[in-house]
Amino acid sequence: MAEVNDPALWRDALPWPGAETHKHNRGRLGVVSGGPLNTGAARLAARAGLRVGAGLVKVLCPPDAAPIVASALEAVMVEAFASPDGLETLAEAMDAVVIGPAAGLNEATVQNLAALARTGAVLVVDADALTIFKGRGVDLFASLDRDDVLTPHEGEFERVFPGLLAQGREAAAREAATRAGCHVVLKGAETVIAAPDGRSRVNGNGSPWLATAGSGDVLAGLIGGLVAQGMASFEAASVAVWIHGAAAEAFGPGLIAEDLPDLIPAVLRGLRP
């Protein structure tokens, strides 16, 4: 039986900077971007990761996307990679990496994921990096570690775990985490967070204002930003899902994904001891 996700479960585990903190030990997050026409999703995730407290955030992009990405970022940094090996080298310096938002439904995304899996970074795997493994989830699971996090919506979940949803969302998410050997965040009105050890939580503060393009990209960045700061993946996913819902509900009508990162500070202030 899943717990209801609530700040009482994880408030004490939230990362706050101390007097000796500097940007590098506050958590380094990378976000992989798609090509020149597909950079917005990674930028949304990166900004969310920075807002939730990661000290240093980089968008990692193909060379032809670099001028576009760089011209639309300030505190978030940019580095270009020309091959999966190049991405691996950049990711070695990261505590966590998000891959999938607008990454591209092509073999490059498969190879880039494999490259990231060779590093010590915790991976948040979303969107195209899930869809590209449609019908061959085992190939994805083989490269993941227990602390990695998959963030499918129901459509993506069905592609990677065909038929499992028939068990109901909670049971399906738990079974998926066991099969994949990592954490699974099954998104929806009641997002389920499941760990590979059998723990699960159902989120209670979802907001229908989140039904807008790019809000899932922001969630991936929030999870990445929290694991980069050293939070355990199960707690990081729980915190991120709750903050995401609280931010959306605070804004209400007219919310677009671009608004979400800048709503995070007020939510964090409310969680501060």
Ligand X SMILES: Nc1ncnc2c1ncn2[C@@H]1O[C@H](COP(=O)(O)OP(=O)(O)O)[C@@H](O)[C@H]1O
State which of residues 189, 256, 265, 266 lies at the interface with ligand X (CB under 6 A). Answer: 189
Q: How far is the CB of 270 from ligand NPW (least distance, A)?
A: 27
Q: Does 109 bind ligand X (CB under 6 A)?
A: no
Distance of CA 169 to the CA centre of its chain: 20
Q: Does 134 bind ligand NPW (CB under 6 A)?
A: no
Q: Does 256 bind ligand X (CB under 6 A)?
A: no
Query: Rounded to whole angstroms, how far apart are CA atoms 229 and 50?
Result: 11
State which of residues 5, 39, 109, 191 lies at the interface with ligand X (CB under 6 A). Answer: 191
Name the one range near ligand X by CB under 6 A: 68-76, 78-86, 137-145, 214-222.
Answer: 214-222
State which of residues 60, 217, 223, 239 lies at the interface with ligand X (CB under 6 A). Answer: 217
Q: Does 188 bind ligand X (CB under 6 A)?
A: yes
Residues 32-91 that bind ligand NPW (CB under 6 A): 38, 40-41
64 is in an annotated binding site: no
Query: Rounded to whole angstroms, how far apart are CA atoms 127 and 153?
Result: 8
Contact 95, 27 (CB under 8 A): yes
Place of tokens 């490059």: 108
189 is in an annotated binding site: yes
Please, is 56 exposed, middle or buried when counting C-beta atoms within 10 Å of its C-beta (0-12, 13-18, 19+)? buried
Tokens of 58: 């980089």
Query: Rounded to whole angstroms, how far apart are CA atoms 238 and 196?
Result: 14
Contact 138, 164 (CB under 8 A): no
Q: Does 4 bind ligand X (CB under 6 A)?
A: no
DSSP-derived secondary structure letter, 135: T
Q: Does 209 bind ligand NPW (CB under 6 A)?
A: no
Backbone angles phi, psi at 16, to 5 degrees: -120, 140
Binding-site residues from annotation: 41, 153, 187-191, 216-217
Binding-site residues from annotation for (6S)-NADPHX: 41, 153, 217
Residues near ligand X (CB under 6 A): 127, 153, 187-189, 191, 206-208, 210-211, 213-217, 219, 244
Binding-site residues from annotation for AMP: 187-191, 216
